[in-house]
Structure 1
Amino acid sequence: MPTSKQLATQVHQVYFGGNWTEVNVKATVSNINWKTAIKKIEGFNTILALTYHIHYFTKVQLRVLEDGQLIGNDSESYKHPNISSQNEWETLQKTMWNEAERFTKILSKLPDTTLDSPFTDKKYGTYTSNILGLIEHTHYHLGQIIILNKLLLKP
């Protein structure tokens, strides 16, 4: 079973780098401009929507770590703010990076004995299953962002 520090390291790496996949959210998203992020390919989510969606669940889990409240809804996870400038896109990213850093710092200090505890309620699984799910979910959608960006930049 992983420790809190190991899980925190994995979350940090998928956001900021150092994992064996050699891709991370910050490096990928930071290199995409706002016009590309909001550009729609029929039948696919935008990069903005996927980026927001990834981080939505990090924010939900952060709230649980900070105050024990599980407040979130899958139907809200794609309801991103409208972005109409590079500055707005970068502001959204800065918020994400700050929250991801807070998340990993708090998680790294979580007692390992908490990891097998219910994630606010037994029906939601354990802390471990939710954090591992967050990491898997982030990698999954990060791959989509990378593919969409390549398609959007194709001449």
Structure 2
Amino acid sequence: MRTKQIANRFREVILNGRWIANTNYKDQLSKISWEQANKKVSDLNTIGLLTFHINYYIEGVLNVLKGGDLEIRDKYSFDAPSITSEKDWQALQQRLYNNSKSFADLIEQMSDVQLDEVFVDEKYGTYQRNIDAMIEHAYYHLGQITLINKMISNE
């Protein structure tokens, strides 16, 4: 079934994979303190902000997979609350992991036929297109997080 394969691809980038990038969000973020998550490098986004950003989209699409509306808007995707403690940082990570697990589980429960159905509105394409975009988007920002982390570690 395609849905199982796609769900596993999503799990790889966030939770447990090493095949594409030799790392994943859980691996990278576990090595970063809340102070490092807030560390600004030049005009780049912080690791904390990128973590919020990717979770924002996962939560938004997850809501649709659960039968809700698409309520997220690009203009709010970087409106992160401040990370002021290790507790805040751990909570954000846990939210990302919990949402990602639910997201992958719901993909896996979908039928292959549903993958080809319209996602919310025709202008967004199919479920498959949107799920693939989530995976690609996650890898894009994982690369940024990995590089920013190296820059911070080399200071």
Give yes or no for TM over 0.5: yes
How far 1:67 moved relative to its partner? 1.4
Aligned match of 1:28: 28
Taking the aligned partners of 1:85 and 1:18, their CA distance within structure 2 comes to 28
How far 1:47 moved relative to its partner? 0.6
Q: TM-score with structure 1 length normalisation?
A: 0.95
How far 1:30 moved relative to its partner? 1.5
Q: Within 5 A, what are the aligned runs for 1:1-150?
A: 3-21=2-20, 22-150=22-150
- Extract unaligned runs of 5+ from structure 1: none
Amino acid at match of 1:7: I
Identity of aligned residues (%): 39
Residues 16-39 of structure 1, C-alpha deviations (whole Å, 9 max, x = no match): 123412210111112100000001
Taking the aligned partners of 1:144 and 1:125, their CA distance within structure 2 comes to 27
How far 1:43 moved relative to its partner? 1.1
3-state DSSP of counterpart to 1:61: helix
Say how many residue pairs are matched: 154
Superposition RMSD in Å:
1.2
Taking the aligned partners of 1:127 and 1:19, their CA distance within structure 2 comes to 25
- Extract unaligned runs of 5+ from structure 2: none
How far 1:97 moved relative to its partner? 0.8
Taking the aligned partners of 1:23 and 1:69, their CA distance within structure 2 comes to 32
